[in-house]
Chain A
Amino acid sequence: MTATSTPLNRPVRRRRRGLIGWAFIAPFAAVFIFATVLPLGYSFVLSLFQERMIGGVSFVGFENYVQQLTDPDFWSAVGRVGVFVAIQAPLMMALALLAALALDSARLHAPAVFRLGIFLPYAVPGVVATLLWGYIYGSKFGLVGDLNEMFGWSLANPLSSALILPSISNIGLWLYVGYNMLVFYAALRVIPTELYEAATIDGAGAWRIMFSIKLPAIWPAIIVAATFSIIGGFQLFNEPNILRALVPNVISSDFTPNMYAYTLSFAGGQYNAAAAVALIMGAITAVVAFLVQRRGFRRDI
């Protein structure tokens, strides 16, 4: 091995190494700039202009932002996803944590069945999941309607305006609890077993080990998962947009901020306002995510 080394060219290589590092990053950087940086930049420029019937396109500064930030429709959409996140994120974390701890406890019969079965919905496209649950919720040929008819029950309509947010939350839970369960389970598996041995020798029981060792050890994973759950909630679009076909009176076209931006640009042709809404929401989620991530991600790479 050493026989083939050529010490003379090593300093040259070292200097070139920085450039080579960038060469490895270049393909990612190229698509990243083209499909992330440029769209954001272009939207920012777009958001500073307005198209008027008379006078054409004109520079208006931050007027679009002021307009959106003072629009009650925008804020009611933000409020709705705020409530949605407040329902969904804690439930998601609690259920996923419960399932992960159960898997890790070695007290389950046939753990592999649970691990795979609960994870399986993650493979189902969100569109299919929403169509499916939409049918199940439906009163026409859905399961809820069937049950009411069959047993003479009067189950509340999951698609009514009172229950629509929990019903949408349920679709998200169904899709992602298994994924988060696996993330937590993976985090639990890398805890050194010596910690459990030491704790057992000290007389700690299973509950004590859970609260004093397991939960603190996977706390960063919980933080990160909660962040993704919150980000996803603020960007809610697919589920309400698809369910809207079933209940257009319950789900308005500006139900969530993303739907609001979508409607502005595709129904109204107000691209400047849509760009402003997209950037405001991007900023809100980025701030929330940043606050949570500060504690969640690795610093040492």
Chain B
Amino acid sequence: MVTLTQTTPPASPTAAAVAGEQRRAGKRYKPVRFNRSPGRTPTRSILLTAVMTLMLIYSLFPLVWLVVNSTKSVDDLFSTFGLWFGDTNVFWDNVVGVFTYDDGVYLTWLRNTVMYTLVGAGGSTLIAAMAGYGLAKFRFAGRRAVFAVILGAIAVPGSALAVPTFLLFSQMGLTNTPWAILIPSLVTPFGLYLLWVYAADAIPTELIEAARVDGAGEFRTFFTIGLRLMAPGILSVFLLEIVGSWNNYFLPLIMLNDPTWYPLTVGLNQWNSQAATAEGEVIFNLVITGSLIAIIPIVIVFLALQRFWQSGLSAGSVKG
């Protein structure tokens, strides 16, 4: 019996092979510049580079500000120039402060954020990939209706749903538990839309037919062929969901009032606003250093996975 991986016809240039080739090319995406403007290589423009440099500075200077000011004590924050270092460098003191303040509650928030992100982003991407595959590769009654519902749901953003979801969940006793964050984060209509379009383009129906002929069950076909061919699209949706979960604020803000379940976003804002309360200790230095530490993991994930955006984005919203 022929195994599934061998059914990808390596010898004959079928649609499957061509699609695979294109996908691999997209995966190892390198800007090919010579053919964008045939006949001549466009001269590099100093003026255009200068204009874009302004935009780059605008994009990066708040992050520079964050790094610079994470080295300062509260006193230095108030007394020294924002874009340069203070009199003494207390970066490590700040880091220690972030992790030890209030019995190390920051670590609890960090752990919560990681948990919400892994479960939420992983679960929602898998669920959306399955549904996208099912919608792209099976013809059945009710498909058009699902399409309409998904498009409608994309228009209803999470923040519009937050208050209704809170009302329902508080009725069911789910508020102030991690489920109140995890369950809504499993729903991603936009991710489903992207993966639906992606699966329709990236998985040749003949390949699925071949797997069926070989006697593979539908779910086995999905996990061995579907997931693999959808990988670039899945990764781009996964990245989208990671950013969304890591940065989630409104929903946890209204669902939780026990700080032991807070994610970093809600916790950091609580640290920031405690300065405005009567007995609150002013800990802007910890807010700033804590913010810096909070964005480091997401920036690393982001830079590691960013090349997959190209394929995911060009499959999704851009095709008219």
Residues of A at the B interface (CB closer than 8 Å) are 1-2, 4-6, 13, 17-25, 27-29, 31-32, 34-36, 38-40, 42-43, 46, 95, 98-99, 102, 104-114, 116-129, 131-133, 135-136, 140-143, 146, 150, 174, 177-178, 182-183, 186-187, 189-190, 193, 196-197, 200, 206, 218-221, 224-225, 227, 231-232, 235, 237-238, 242, 245, 258, 261-262, 265-266, 271, 274-275, 277-279, 281-282, 285-286, 289-290, 293, 296-298, 301
16 A/B residue pairs, CB under 8 Å, sorted by A = A20-B138, A21-B135, A28-B131, A105-B45, A119-B306, A122-B243, A122-B302, A124-B295, A125-B264, A125-B295, A131-B268, A135-B284, A174-B58, A220-B320, A265-B163, A301-B135
Cα distance A17–B291 in the bound complex, in angstroms = 50
Cβ of B51 and Cβ of A102 under 8 Å apart? Answer: yes
Residue of B nearest to A175 (CB): B247
Shortest Cβ distance from residue A7 to the other chain B in the assembled complex, whole angstroms: 9
Tell me the B193-212 residues at the A interface (CB within 8 Å). Answer: 193, 196-197, 200, 210, 212
- CB of B33 within 8 A of CB of A40, answer no
Check if A275 sits within 8 Å of B82, measured CB to CB: no
| Measured CA separation A258–B155 after assembly (Å) | 16
Contact A35 B140 (CB under 8 A): no
**Given A117-B56, A142-B82 in contact, is the A17-B215 Cβ separation under 8 Å?**
no
What residues of chain A lie closer than 8 Å to B171, measured between beta carbons? 42
**Interface set, chain B 122-155, CB cutoff 8 A to A:** 127-128, 130-131, 133-143, 146-147, 151-155
Additional 4 contacts, C-beta under 8 A, given A108-B44, A200-B37: A189-B310, A190-B318, A278-B163, A282-B161
Q: Is the CB of B36 within 8 A of A136?
A: no
Q: Are A245 and B272 in contact (CB under 8 A)?
A: yes
Q: Give the distance in Å from the alpha carbon of A182 to the alpha carbon of B196 in the complex.
A: 21
Q: Is the CB of A262 within 8 A of B254?
A: yes
Q: Are A242 and B51 touching (Cβ within 8 A)?
A: no
Q: How far is the CB of A220 from chain B (nearest CB, A)?
A: 3
Contact status B42-A107, CB under 8 Å: yes
In the complex, the answer to whether B167 meets A126 with C-beta atoms within 8 Å is no
How would residues 80 to 121 of chain B score, 1 for a CB under 8 Å from any chain A CB and 0 otherwise? 011100000000000000000000000000000000000000
Chain B hits for A6, CB < 8 A: 215
The answer to whether A25 and B131 touch across the interface, beta carbons within 8 angstroms, is yes
**Is the CB–CB distance between B56 and A285 below 8 Å?**
no
Contact A24 B48 (CB under 8 A): no
Q: CB < 8 Å: which of B161, B254, B276 contacts A36?
A: B161
Question: Is there contact, CB below 8 Å, between A128 and B294?
Answer: yes
A-B contact count (CB 8 A): 340
Within 8 Å CB of B59, what residues of A? 117-118, 120-121, 174, 177-178
Chain B nearest Cβ from A170, distance in angstroms: 9
Task: State whether A275 and B130 are in contact (beta carbons under 8 Å apart), knowing that A141-B77, A182-B313, A186-B310 are contacts in the complex.
Answer: no
Cα separation A258 to B254 with both chains bound (whole Å) = 12
Interface pair A120/B291, CB less than 8 Å apart: no
Known: A24-B133, A174-B59. A274 touches B272 (CB 8 A): no
Question: CA–CA, A235 to B39, complex, Å?
Answer: 48
Binary per-residue interface labels of chain B (234-271) against chain A in the complex, 1 for a CB within 8 Å, 0 otherwise: 00000000010011011000100000000011101100
> Given A24-B222, A275-B167, are A285 and B155 neighbors across the interface (CB < 8 Å)?
yes
